[in-house]
Amino acid sequence: MARRISRGLIAAATAAVALIAPAGAATAAGPAPAAPAATGPQARIFMVNPVQATGDQTLTDAKDAADAVPASAYALAELRNLDGSGTLTGRWASVKSETGPAAKLAAAGSYNRSDDQFEQVMAYFWVNEAQEYLQGLGFGSDLPGANDRPQAIRINQWGADNSFFTDKKNEIRFGKGGVDDAEDAEVIVHEYGHAVHNAQVPGFGTSPEAGAIGEAFGDYLAVEVGAHAAGRYGWAVKTEAACVADWDSTPYSGTPHCLRRLDGTKVYADRVGEVHADGEIWSRALWDIRGALGARTADRIIVNAQFGFAPGTSFEDAARQTVTTAQRMYGTSAADAVRTAFRARQIPGI
């Protein structure tokens, strides 16, 4: 069975950023725009993940071997919003590791995937990137903040090939085994999506449908933040946009490698009572809203609507709240587009 990221809730931006893109990087729209000069510590990171960056579906983990991934999958990036303590602690993220010594900022630009510290750096960069994306949408300024606080992160805490967010400690924990989870930016941001949901609605995910919505939003946010970063920095994207976690899924999926997809065909009647599988119904609706309204408008509606969800919401109630939010923020045309997306998934009462 394909491995699945934990449902996240365990019981109980575009702000101006500086990044050095790889030489010659370009998007389909043309050459990459010039990035501002970097001023902070530089770190070596994956451009989302190696499969997406290279298009090579034959890449394998090879027990964390450095030479299993080409240099073209990496970029140098500024570690922003650090607190000056000399550790990976800052305004939006605080990273601790259970394996290997803590990353040294002076060496962050030289780590590769064979180093335990590489995953620490990846986790810090991508959680910060995700919150900066939300800030760029207006969350924390003209809209309420969405997890606009330091997010606690532990690397290899789980001790297995799985990752999760726990609301007991407001902490994200990334696992190891196969492709270590914090090597894939979309896994990192997926788990951050659970933290965002819990910050908006404490205890979110207490019903099967709410849990599915949480998984769907995590997948959607992961793809959205990665796509935004690729566009901003001129990174190559050589896999299908709707594919989630191309790199993490290489040990347990066929080609093209995907943990899940945002463009599936499931409808409400296809529910099976498993949150990851059922989440593909909701994530397709979010993907269609994005297609109809554009990323910025769609994401402002999607995230803002979540403040009105109940912890154990249903698909129907959450869809109604999202339509209402679209109407309030952008008027009838936007509300109609959102309604159409949910009706296409045959969600009752819409």
Domain count, the chain: 1
Per-residue pLDDT 10s for the chain (350 aa) are: 333 343 333 222 222 233 333 333 333 333 333 444 567 899 999 999 999 999 999 999 998 899 999 999 999 999 999 999 999 999 999 998 877 789 999 999 999 999 989 999 999 999 999 999 999 999 999 999 999 999 999 887 555 546 655 655 778 888 776 777 889 999 999 999 999 999 999 999 999 999 999 999 999 999 999 999 999 999 999 999 999 999 989 999 999 999 999 999 999 999 999 999 999 999 999 999 999 999 999 999 999 999 999 999 999 999 999 999 999 999 999 999 999 999 999 999 99
Q: What 3-state class would DSSP assign to 287? A: helix
Backbone dihedral angles phi then psi of residue 26, each to the nearest 5 degrees: -150, 155
CA-to-CA distance for 173 and 152, rounded, in angstroms? 9
Token pair listed for 281: 């119904």
E strands, 207-338, in order: 243-244, 260-261
Q: Record the tokens describing residue 325, joined without a space.
A: 């939010």
- CB within 8 Å of 318: residues ≥ 6 apart: 209, 210, 213, 282, 305, 309
Classify strands 164-166 and 151-155 as parallel, antiparallel or unpaired. unpaired
Domain for residue 7, yes or no?
no
Q: Is residue 5 part of a domain?
A: no
Residue 177's pLDDT is what? 67
Structural domain range at position 300 = 19-344
**Do the domain assignments include residue 305?**
yes
pLDDT for res 29: 32
The conformational region for residue 143 under phi > 0 = left, psi -120 to 50 = alpha, else beta, is beta
User: Which residue, among 106, 108, 133, has the nearest Cα to 122 in the 3D structure?
Assistant: 108
Q: Are 45 and 11 in contact (CB under 8 A)?
A: no
Radius of gyration of the chain from its Cα atoms, rounded to whole angstroms: 19
Strand partners, 129: none
Which stretches within 234-314 are classed as H helix? 275-293, 295-306
Residue/partner pairs of 61-64 with CB below 8 Å, 24 or more apart: 61/178, 61/179, 61/250, 61/251, 64/113, 64/114, 64/180
Whether the Cβ atoms of residue 205 and residue 226 lie closer than 8 Å to each other: no
Pairing of strands 243-244, 74-78: unpaired
Gap between the Cα atoms of 195 and 278, Å rounded: 20
Residue 6 lies in a domain: no
φ/ψ of residue 152, rounded to 5: -75, 135
> Residue 336 is encoded by which pair of tokens?
């109609």
Question: 65 lies in a domain?
Answer: yes
Interacting residues of 334 by C-beta distance below 8 A, sequence separation 6+: 293, 297, 301, 326, 327
Q: Is residue 138 domain-resident?
A: yes
Q: Between β-strands 171-174 and 151-155, what pairing exists: parallel, antiparallel or unpaired?
A: parallel
CB 93 within 8 A of CB 124: yes
In a domain, 126, yes or no: yes
In a domain, 349, yes or no: no
